[in-house]
Amino acid sequence: MRVLVKDMSKHVAGEEIELCGWVHRLRELGGLTFIILRDRSGLAQLVMEEKLELGLEYVVTAAGIVESNHKAPGGFELKVKRLNILAAAEKDLPFQINSDPAKTSLDIILDKRVLSLRNPKIRAIFYIQSTIIEAFSSFLRAKDFTEIKTSKLIASGTEGGTGLFELEYFDKKLYLAQSPQFYKQTMVASGMERVFEVAHAYRAEKHDTPRHLNEYVSMDLEMAFIDSELDLIELEKELLAYIFEELRQKQEAGLVLWNAVLPKPESIAKAPIISHDEALEVAVMEAGQGSKKQYEISPETERLVCAWAARETGSELVFINDFPRRQRPFYAYPQSSGSTMSFDAIFRGLEITTGGRRQENYKALLESLPRFGLNAEELSGYLDVFKYGCPPHGGFAIGCERLTQKILGLGNVKEASLFPRDRKRVSP
Amino acid sequence: MRVLVKDMSKHVAGEEIELCGWVHRLRELGGLTFIILRDRSGLAQLVMEEKLELGLEYVVTAAGIVESNHKAPGGFELKVKRLNILAAAEKDLPFQINSDPAKTSLDIILDKRVLSLRNPKIRAIFYIQSTIIEAFSSFLRAKDFTEIKTSKLIASGTEGGTGLFELEYFDKKLYLAQSPQFYKQTMVASGMERVFEVAHAYRAEKHDTPRHLNEYVSMDLEMAFIDSELDLIELEKELLAYIFEELRQKQEAGLVLWNAVLPKPESIAKAPIISHDEALEVAVMEAGQGSKKQYEISPETERLVCAWAARETGSELVFINDFPRRQRPFYAYPQSSGSTMSFDAIFRGLEITTGGRRQENYKALLESLPRFGLNAEELSGYLDVFKYGCPPHGGFAIGCERLTQKILGLGNVKEASLFPRDRKRVSP
């Protein structure tokens, strides 16, 4: 019977069990072979009298008896009776899998994904990401949201045509969707009222920075019958607090490997909300003497505003709302002040969310198009959603890789994507 | 305080509550206005003394007191004190939303998604689909599978280059992934051992049939340390039984709307497994006198085999295994008999799953390439996965829309896709 490494302690000096996994370390000492075996649950020491042709990363099954050994990892080891090689490994490993990944360049880590992920610390990133997605989904399901899957092949971009990847679709040109914006609003208006989607989104942006991916996982939601973006900010606070709590309970081992400290629920609850204009002022103040007036939220602004919030309020999360109309898409809900009911969430110096209430009034949408250089004909598919009764609504999206990156303190968002795509990287 | 229609009964003759939703039906009688209000949870009768300019599909909030009325849907109605119009609807509704969807053509249903989904019966399809995805994911998580998100932009197809959509990616040509096959095998070999993904897959197939979509939701899994495809078939039986049980518990209302009967768990457990060659013989036998010998499993074979299984074993699910090597991709695990450890699952006459054990031996993979007209250089990325120790493994995928279609008895798989893509349809 196969037993996972983490469950060895339940079988001490009992029946024969079988461990399966990869040879993580290997050494011979006093006529014995010591193997550190790695399976999906952890590392275990194996002791064997027999000598076998073995190498690092061989896949084996080992049958034997579990015994206590306070020197072995976890306090137990397997006295091997029979070892069976399931798969051999070439000797030319391109880097040392069983050492600290900080010694390996990001390019090697991404080029050799099948090997770099064998390092428990690197693999932990994606166990954590899996829990983020699970927590996002289960939180929303409990609040009566329905999971949807919407097309990623679209005839045109809702937000103008820039930044789209073009596709040959039989005899037509289509584009990869930048976001499920149009579809999640359709689903709200269809009467589903509350929807979420976790799926890829595509941005044909040329810049190659530690915060950009050309293909990323967008965790989107949209809901009906809200008053303003403040309802959405409240929801996001609860949602993030829940995700952090789930990580605390389910991913302790991985968090320890990365020395990651999660924000406390009470610090999330008191995350400040400041207006776009206040954020710019705070950033100038925080930057100190001689710094110039800022006109737009830049990556630098985000870092400065977070530094200010951490010091003043103890929160690593800040919401910025009241964005000016010219900085938001045409569908952002306008306020009488000239700003919009839209917001960003900045976590540990990085924007992880954009959202807001959307304009649901058909006539107001039509009237607003000219100021954005848009016309009703091009947008007729979108506009139809509002023609037959659409409730007040809004939503937001969380960048899954960015949230993962900031939770673990990764230097580059690409580290939080299994198979990242940037301008140059198209494989594996 | 907003109350959902389904919770009205908890507030009879109590405090004032508010319902929000769409005007589903409207009539005036004896100086009173009767509204059937539709929210995400159901339909409720509203009675109002005031006369307001209202139309079908207007979005309203209605404040009032709940009273019993055995003639009203659900047995309760709201005596309206104040009604507030949140959004108007144009009068030129392209079809009658509040009637039986069988009266509306599929093209209208798909062209006017935002309206057709307002019909509770049509919307129910996607509540059911949402539960299918939730059940698939939670079943696998409980078995220690990790959810992954893998790139859909690939440099070449694992299974040859046919049927791929081509994409402009900066200065390169890329393709939309037909399946996460390569990546899920990579993740098994990376030591994650058990992975699943629910994501879009793309097939550039020109045929337009009631069983094909060019973009569909593939529910994929892959796992290490299996012996043969029989382990996978056992897992799929358990998984499907779990999905059906979850639907029984969570989606009763939608199943009733479609008169859908779910297979019983015990019928799933005893689903027969027959070989490819037996399946062809059974189909000929089932087709009756004068029918010709069959050489390949066709849609007609699938229907005949299911008819046979239903009659002989009471199961609506059949597994076909032992496919000949020439009918499977190069990575299918060969058996000494010349067939492969691969299988299909046929449910109610339609293939919903393809899967099998994969070849994990690097040298055997290399040696098999010429017979499939492949070369090692083209496939070097794929082959690297097996070079450094890959355990025995396999997996399968369930077509989400096809499973939804067959559960509800939908005539066309497009009905089970929110925004389907076929050769002609690219919007909404």
What whole-number distance in Å separates Cα of residue A175 and Cα of residue A177? 6
Q: What is the pLDDT of residues A385-408, one digit of tens each?
A: 999 999 999 999 999 999 999 999
What whole-number distance in Å separates Cα of residue B317 and Cα of residue B232? 15
CATH fold of B5-87, please? OB fold (Dihydrolipoamide Acetyltransferase, E2P) (2.40.50)
The angle at the Cα of B409, spanning B406 to B410, to the nearest 5 degrees, equals 95
What is the rounded radius of gyration, in angstroms, for the C-alpha atoms of chain A? Answer: 26
Distances (CA, A) of A386 to A158, A302, A329, A330, B115: 14, 34, 16, 14, 11
Q: Is the pLDDT of residue A319 over 90?
A: yes
Q: Which of A38, A129, A190, A212 to mutate to test the interface with B (most CBs of B within 10 A)?
A: A190
pTM value?
A: 0.97
What whole-number distance in Å separates Cα of residue B392 and Cα of residue A59? 9
Q: What is the pLDDT of residues A320-377, one digit of tens each?
A: 999 999 999 999 999 989 999 999 999 999 999 999 999 999 999 999 999 998 989 8
Give the chain A residue whose CA is nearest to the CA of B206: A170
Residue ranges of domains in chain A: 5-87, 124-416
B203 chain-A contacts, CB cut-off 8 A: none
Segment A178-194 mean pLDDT = 97
- Tokens describing residue A235: 């929801």
**Do the domains B114-416 and B5-87 match in fold?**
no
Chain-chain contact of A418 with B151 (C-beta, under 8 angstroms): yes
> Which pLDDT score, from 0 to 100, does residue A185 have?
98
Chain-chain contact of A166 with B167 (C-beta, under 8 angstroms): yes
Per residue of chain B (428 residues), what is the pLDDT tens digit?
899 999 999 999 889 999 999 999 999 999 999 999 999 999 999 999 988 999 999 999 999 999 999 999 989 999 999 999 999 999 999 999 989 999 999 999 999 999 999 999 999 999 999 999 999 999 999 999 999 999 999 997 655 556 899 999 999 999 999 999 999 999 999 999 999 999 999 999 988 899 999 999 999 999 999 999 999 999 999 999 999 999 999 999 999 999 999 999 999 999 999 999 999 999 999 999 888 888 899 999 999 999 999 999 999 999 999 999 999 999 999 998 999 999 999 999 999 999 999 999 999 999 999 999 898 988 888 999 999 999 999 999 999 999 999 999 999 999 999 999 999 999 99
Whole-number average pLDDT of chain B:
95
What whole-number distance in Å separates Cα of residue B213 and Cα of residue B63? 45
What whole-number distance in Å separates Cα of residue A27 and Cα of residue A29? 7
Give the chain B residue whose CA is nearest to the CA of A122: B190
B148 chain-A contacts, CB cut-off 8 A: 126, 130, 418
> Which pLDDT score, from 0 to 100, does residue B157 have?
63
CATH fold of A124-416, please? BirA Bifunctional Protein; domain 2 (3.30.930)
Taking the domain B114-416, which CATH number applies?
3.30.930.10
Q: What is the full DSSP assignment across A127-195?
A: HHHHHHHHHHHHHHHHTT-EE----SEESS-TT-STT--EEEETTEEEEE-S-SHHHHHHHIIIII-EE
Q: Which of residues 398-417 of A touch B (CB under 8 A)?
A: 400
Q: Is the pLDDT of residue A218 over 90?
A: yes
This complex has an ipTM of 0.97
Chain-chain contact of B391 with A86 (C-beta, under 8 angstroms): yes
Closest Cβ–Cβ partner in A61, A149, A391 for B59: A391
Closest Cβ–Cβ partner in A57, A133, A150 for B389: A57
Strand-pair category, B146-147 with B194-202: parallel
Nearest CA distance, A29 vs chain B (angstrom): 25
Q: Which amino acid is at A291?
A: S
Buried b (16+ CB within 10 A) or exposed e, A49-60: eeeeebebbbbb
